[in-house]
Amino acid sequence: MSASHDDHHHGPAKGLTRWLYTTNHKDIGSLYLWFSFAMFLLGGTFAMVIRAELFQPGLQLVEPNFFNQMTTMHGLVMVFGAVMPAFVGLANWLIPMMIGAPDMALPRMNNWSFWILPFAFAMLSSTLFMDAGAPNFGWTFYAPLSTTYAPSTVTFFIFAIHIMGASSIMGSINIIATVLNMRAPGMTLMKMPLFVWTWLITAYLLIAVMPVLAGVVTMMLFDIHFGTSFFNAAGGGDPVLFQHVFWFFGHPEVYIMILPAFGIVSAIIPTFARKRLFGYDSMVYATASIAFLSFIVWAHHMFTVGMPIAGELFFMYATMLIAVPTGVKVFNWVATMFRGSMTFETPMLFAIAFVVLFTMGGFTGLMLAITPADFQYHDTYFVVAHFHYVLVPGAIFSIMAATYYWLPKWTGHMYDERLGKLHFWLSFIGVNVLFFPQHFLGLAGMPRRIPDYALQFADFNWISSIGGFLFGASQLILLVVVIKCVKGGKKATPQVWEGAQGLEWTLDSPAPYHTFATPPDPKLIHAQ
């Protein structure tokens, strides 16, 4: 697709204009991925400040208020700036190719939905340099802390959220229109790669919940500037209403950040196990079930607000029910690997780490779902440990797996496998040293979002911070790997992974030479 009529006559646009005006899904995918990587490093910097302050008890590096700004900005930048745009970038790059479409359905809108993002995050980040200071009320921005007691910069934050939401909605409309209208002949819905399925379902989730987020920040705006009292008890409002509206967005949001990850590992594990994905249909149904259930569990974030017992029971059982389709997925990934002829290239290492550590995060989620137990865990570091196990080895490891897996396809060059494995092992060790001790801190009663703590928590915090610095530093290896790969290296052939089916595993692919039942024929291996 040509970017405009001019390009048609004067050749392709060069330099900056190429990137500003591009309507090419691959270019836009690359823009999203580079942007999300920049945000990942920025959000990681905020996290390093947090871990440095918590390295030992006592206040040493930053003021408590600045510490709160760091926790807020870290969460906002990682969720809306790193994880979500990375998945949208992968969707842009891969979905048209996976379904045989020439581009996305709405290429102009595609350009727009990317280019508003840098401005949103520039505006959010600029609050760090303002007199009033950045938002300091946590990434969940509970009212009335974020309305009555907030710094004046909260208005910038609200505008930034609106822009991110608009970007997400446009991206989702684009994905749905592309998948439903532009599949190649013969590509039925139940033949699509699972990455396409997970993104189709994610796009519907985004369209459903982004207006809810827009609604809640608009109510904040009115409480701050126009004298309303949606969340102000003194004016007849209800602070708990904020939590209900926020989490009605917020819970599906956390599934928006994990469903595309399920699609990625469902592409990678079959390739390196050299077997078809076990239980394709059940994977599609499980994804849809998770999406449906994600809408009826939101108040499990609010067990301690004083709900009626019937409400607590409903949200407890509904939350525990999500473990069933999630368990189906984990079972299918393990069954895919079972008796496969597995090799352990970097993408596969990240995918296996994903399955193991994401499952661990799922178990702690099950613990948090038990209402009376949650009364103890609530607002402790146990919750921090739980959601970071789901989001870091979950969402972020899957994005890294995808990066290594598709880099040869994107760049035409093979990445440096040695550096890739180094990046994996340092990240894997770092992430566990960072977050595993936080389970113990939480169970021992350390509250989250505090810049200082009692002496009894010192040792685990010290270990956690060391893991944090290791994990943070090792992400620079990824930057080196990607730049090296873009610039050159061994040419990637269609047969990128030795003996694998190549990059595109479709349901109609011929069976691999090493099937589930028969031992490999050495002659065939050499022929391949």
Sign of the torsion angle spanned by Cα atoms 104, 19, 420, 39: negative
Look up residue 76 and give its two tokens. 């906002």
Q: Tell me if 43 sits within 8 A of 81, measured CB to CB.
A: yes
- 59: Cα separation from own chain's centroid: 32
Choosing from 93, 255, 377, 453, the catalytic residue is: 255
Query: The tokens 């979500």 sit on which residue?
Result: 84
Q: Where are the alpha helices (DSSP H) in 127-256?
A: 154-181, 194-225, 239-256
Query: Is residue 414 packed enough to be buried (19+ CB in 10 Å), middle (13-18) or exposed (0-12)?
Result: middle
Quick check: is 417 catalytic? no
Quick check: is 312 catalytic? no
What is the identity of the amino acid at 522?
A: P
Quick check: is 339 catalytic? no
Quick check: is 448 catalytic? yes
What is the identity of the amino acid at 506?
A: T
Quick check: is 74 catalytic? yes
3-state secondary structure of 380: strand
Choosing from 27, 223, 253, 416, the catalytic residue is: 253
Choosing from 146, 326, 359, 403, the catalytic residue is: 326
How far apart CA 210 and CA 286 sit, in angstroms, is 23
Look up residue 285 and give its two tokens. 């149904």
- 157: Cα separation from own chain's centroid: 21
Question: What are all long-range contacts of 236-243, with beta carbons under 8 Å and residues at least 24 apart?
Answer: 239/142, 239/143, 239/144, 240/302, 240/305, 242/142, 242/143, 242/216, 243/142, 243/301, 243/302, 243/305
Quick check: is 326 catalytic? yes
Q: Tell me if 157 sits within 8 A of 122, measured CB to CB.
A: no
Quick check: is 103 catalytic? yes
Quick check: is 439 catalytic? no
Which of 137, 147, 136 lies closest to 237 in space, CA to CA?
Answer: 147
Q: Could you say which DSSP state residue 500 is in?
A: S
Give residues with Cβ within 8 angstroms of 522, minimum separation 6. none
Choosing from 274, 275, 301, 439, the catalytic residue is: 301
Q: Tell me if 263 sits within 8 A of 201, measured CB to CB.
A: no
Quick check: is 300 catalytic? yes
The torsion angle over the Cα atoms of residues 446, 447, 453 and 459, rounded to 10 degrees, is 30
Choosing from 25, 51, 74, 439, the catalytic residue is: 74
How far apart CA 56 and CA 489 sit, in angstroms, is 44
Quick check: is 225 catalytic? no
Choosing from 266, 287, 364, 474, the catalytic residue is: 266
Choosing from 183, 251, 388, 514, the catalytic residue is: 251
Quick check: is 493 catalytic? no
The torsion angle over the Cα atoms of residues 373, 375, 379 and 384, rounded to 10 degrees, is 10
Choosing from 51, 275, 276, 329, the catalytic residue is: 329
Q: Which residues are catalytic?
A: 74, 103, 139, 167-168, 251, 253, 255, 266, 300-301, 326, 329, 448
